[in-house]
Amino acid sequence: MRKYIPYILILIILVGMFSPLTLVHAVTCDDNGLPAGCTIPTNTTCAPDDNGVAPPGCYQLLAPLPGMTDFDPGTKVGDNGALGRYLNLIIKLVIGISAALAVVMIVIGGIEYMTSELISGKESGKERMTQAVLGLLIALGAYALLFTINPDLLSTRLNISDATVKVDLEEEIKGLLGQGKCEPVTNASNPCSPTNLIAAGFVEPRATQASSICNGESGGETNSASKTDVCSDGRTSFSLGLFQINVLANGNAIPACSNIFQTNGSGPQGNCLDRPADGICRKWDCSVKDTTKYQSCVNFITNTANNISFAKNLQASRGWGQWGFNRSCRFP
């Protein structure tokens, strides 16, 4: 029976130490008010208003953690420092628990040393006490060493900067609505300048018209990809290059771009999945079947010579009406 006493003592101590921690959890206080058990002090940023409604995104511990005196119990969920303060406290709790367990093991080792009549039993008790002291020294020594080298090594404060993603569709939408500026490229070195387009096979007045269409569609950017002609994932564009060639609608005429997409719907681009009040569809019901072939298609059609050549042939056979920006230019 005596050999089970140390394990019983350890079990009793652990239950006593960790029972309060099992009550620690959080609740969310949303726009509908404070749920049961969520009482936020009135001097915090998450205090309820005069109607008893708490600001959205607030939370509070139902049972406070010991030593958490510097933590605002009405902290916002998005507070970058909240998690860091929790983790810093956990480090201190772990060291405290280690010290308590070391004391328990020393006591158990002492009892074993005093009650054992065998030399082996006394040696076992002495070894248990020695290991407990060494474990405590390792825990405290690690903390002290890191703190001495640089206190920031023990800091778990998370300062995550907000990321802003800006997508400018204004000019593209203006062109599609017929409100864009129909002007040819003035930079002579740009591949969409009238001079370079004449060299590529356009003749006047088509060269100047083509320069205006190219300027409106891509701004003369060789690797431009449409932000409105995209598939259901919102990322895969199918209108590419200087003249924003629609490789989904014209894929059969471009060997490198044929049989790449899967569409759902009656139109060549599939059904429209997102059409705001301005009437311009922002997303189409399509997907890429072969990503490797799609990338090869992108490389082919964004090549300056290939893009201009296909645009010239497309205009010669169908006119400028194939380009959405022609709503602003109104070329025949």
* Separation between Cα atoms, residue 263 and residue 238, nearest integer Å: 12
Which has the closest alpha carbon to 242: 196, 206, 290, 181? 196
pLDDT at 11: 53
Q: Pseudo-torsion of CA 246, 247, 253, 255, nearest 10°? A: 160
pLDDT lower than 50: segments of the chain: 1, 15, 17-44, 54, 69-78, 80, 167
* Separation between Cα atoms, residue 154 and residue 146, nearest integer Å: 7
pLDDT at 320: 93
CB contact at 8 A, 307 and 301:
yes
pLDDT at 263: 92
Q: Which residue has the tokens 């569709």?
A: 169
pLDDT at 236: 92
Length of the chain: 332
Q: What three-state secondary structure class fits 289?
A: coil
33-64 exposure pattern, b = at least 16 Cβ within 10 A, e = fewer:
ebeeebebeeeeebebeeeeebbeebbbbeee
* Separation between Cα atoms, residue 227 and residue 169, nearest integer Å: 7
**What phi-psi label fits residue 39: left (phi over 0), alpha (psi between -120 and 50 degrees) or beta?**
beta
**Two tokens at 69?**
């005196």
Which has the closest alpha carbon to 71: 44, 36, 34? 44
Question: CA geometry: angle at 250 spanning 259 and 227, to 5°?
Answer: 95
* Separation between Cα atoms, residue 248 and residue 234, nearest integer Å: 15
pLDDT at 324: 86
pLDDT at 277: 84
**What phi-psi label fits residue 178: left (phi over 0), alpha (psi between -120 and 50 degrees) or beta?**
left
H helix runs in 229-303, sequence order? 291-301
What does the domain layout of the chain look like in residue ranges? 2-24+63-154, 170-329
pLDDT in tens, 164-203: 555 455 666 665 665 667 899 999 999 999 999 999 999 9
